[in-house]
Amino acid sequence: MVDRGRARDVNEAARRFAESLAESYRLVYAQAAESGERQQRRAQEFSELVARNLREQTEASRSTAQKLSEQADRQQEAGQEFVRESVEAYAQFLDAAFSRYQTATERAAGTAAGVMGAATGTVADATASTVDPTAETAAFPIAGYDEMNVEEVSKRLNDLSVEELQLLRDYEERNKRRDTLLEQMDRKIRAT
């Protein structure tokens, strides 16, 4: 009987050992499964983090590229504006220079004619008896010019001939030098 009791004890111990071993395996498998799930979650979180970072970097790159493109457009427009203004300024310079040259040429021609007339005596004799000290003011294209403002003078420019415009322009340049009027007169002179 001792052997039966002992066999029962051995069987009981073997059963408990088997259960304990099975429980250990279950715990190991449960921990392995849990660890696998954690790793899978972490791998998914890592993937999402990488994807989010890539999206943000892509958006930032796109935004930067757009800003650079806009900046390049602004620089191009500024460059075109600079070139346009430079060309206009140069054209105005040439127009002013040509206008002064033309005025000087006309004055020289007038002076030469006066000298020739005086030399022959015909001009001196003809004008000696008819010189009117107020003739210069009477021949001035716009009466009361010095008292007029730019707008008032501008309204009267269309009624003048090229010679009158040139006379008026020269007078303005020597006296008040109002740029707006000088430019208007230059345009009208060039247009005719």
33-87, pLDDT tens digit by residue? Answer: 888 888 888 888 888 888 888 888 888 888 888 888 888 788 888 778 777 876 7
Inside any domain, residue 183: yes
Inside any domain, residue 40: no
pLDDT at 164: 93
Inside any domain, residue 189: yes
Rounded to 5 degrees, what angle do the CA atoms 100, 106, 107 make?
A: 90
Q: Looking at 121-161, list the stretches that DSSP marks H as alpha helix, in order from N- to C-terminal side.
A: 122-128, 135-139, 150-156
pLDDT at 125: 38
pLDDT at 65: 81
How many domains is the chain partitioned into structurally?
Answer: 1
Q: What pLDDT, in 10s, does the model give residues 143-168? A: 999 999 999 999 998 989 999 999 99
The answer to whether the pTM exceeds 0.85 is: no
Q: What pLDDT, in 10s, does the model give residues 14-34? A: 899 888 888 888 888 888 888
Inside any domain, residue 191: yes
Distance (Å, whole) CA 192 – CA 167: 15
pLDDT at 163: 93
Cα–Cα distances in angstroms (integers) from residue 1 to residues 11, 139, 146, in the given order: 15, 159, 149
Inside any domain, residue 71: no
If 0-12 CB within 10 Å is exposed, 13-18 middle and 19+ buried, where does residue 145 land? middle
What range does the domain containing 177 cover?
132-192
Inside any domain, residue 152: yes
Inside any domain, residue 141: yes
Inside any domain, residue 2: no
Distance (Å, whole) CA 85 – CA 93: 12
